[in-house]
Amino acid sequence: MYQLKYVFENNIPLFDCNFCGNCNGFIESKSLIHIKNRGCCWYYPKYTLMDIRNILIIGREDFIHNLFTLNNTKVSNFYIEVNGFFDKSSYEKYEGSEEFDTRLFFRVCPFFDTNGCGINFKLRPHPCNLYLCREVIEFAKDKYKLYSKERIDYYSYMNYYNEQIKQDLRSKRVDLLSDNKLVLELLKGYNIPQFEPRKLDTISLNRNETVNTHCFRNNKERIIIDECV
């Protein structure tokens, strides 16, 4: 039986869905690159200051330092983005007529692994952990409403405190580009209240179709940088 459940640990949420990887191939999961079982893993992870802080608080400063060393990492003043693979030449030849950015057909996350996400959920930015495909939302029906509210509330919480931290760093005239070591030390010292999660019931997803055994989420903890640009 497929299920959607809510996991919350160390101030980090996860919409844990064992249906992931078993979709009917709706448009967002369409892959026109050499990796055909990529699912919806086309997002390039973007770590905000609050995402970085959450990772530091669980004692994984080594992971953040490792991000700084990757050739495909883009460091901005107040966030870290890890770029994945993008087949630019194929994208430029594509003549599709979809009403959204079709670059996602030609992208793959740098942490993608054939057995699922290559890093533990506590090391992902929050948009990855709270993403649900349209098919799962449709199966969940009205029961999804509380999950949706939780997602909105957590985004608001993260955005609010991220902006507070950003303003404080600006007042100190420091950022990730000028002195990332100092920023990491400051992030560990901020007194930020924990998010107060709802208690969400596990949702059974009823679907009577053949199951694809591939799963796009697991908790293996390794960084996949092969094929990254």
The pLDDT value given to residue 27: 77
The pLDDT value given to residue 208: 57
The pLDDT value given to residue 221: 34
What is the Cα–Cα distance from 100 to 187, expressed in whole angstroms? 36
The pLDDT value given to residue 63: 97
Contact 92, 106 (CB under 8 A): no
The pLDDT value given to residue 175: 98
Q: What pTM does this model have?
A: 0.86
Pair of tokens at residue 160:
């609010």
What is the Cα–Cα distance from 20 to 217, expressed in whole angstroms? 7
Q: What are phi and psi of 69, to 5 degrees?
A: -90, -10
Three-state helix/strand/coil letters over the chain: CEEEEEEEECCEEEEEECCCCCCCCCHHHCCCCCCCCCCCCCCCCEEEHHHHHHHHHCCCHHHHHHHHHCCCEEECCCEEEECCEECHHHHHHCCCCCCCCHHHHHEECCCEECCEECCCHHHCCHHHHCCCCHHHHHHHHHHHHHHHHHHHHHHHHHHHHHHHHHHHHHHCCCCHHHHHHHHHHHHHHCCCCCCCCCCCCCEEECCCCCCCCCCCCCCCCCCCCCCCC
The pLDDT value given to residue 25: 65
The pLDDT value given to residue 38: 86
The pLDDT value given to residue 219: 36
Regions of the chain where pLDDT drops below 70: 21, 23-25, 207-229
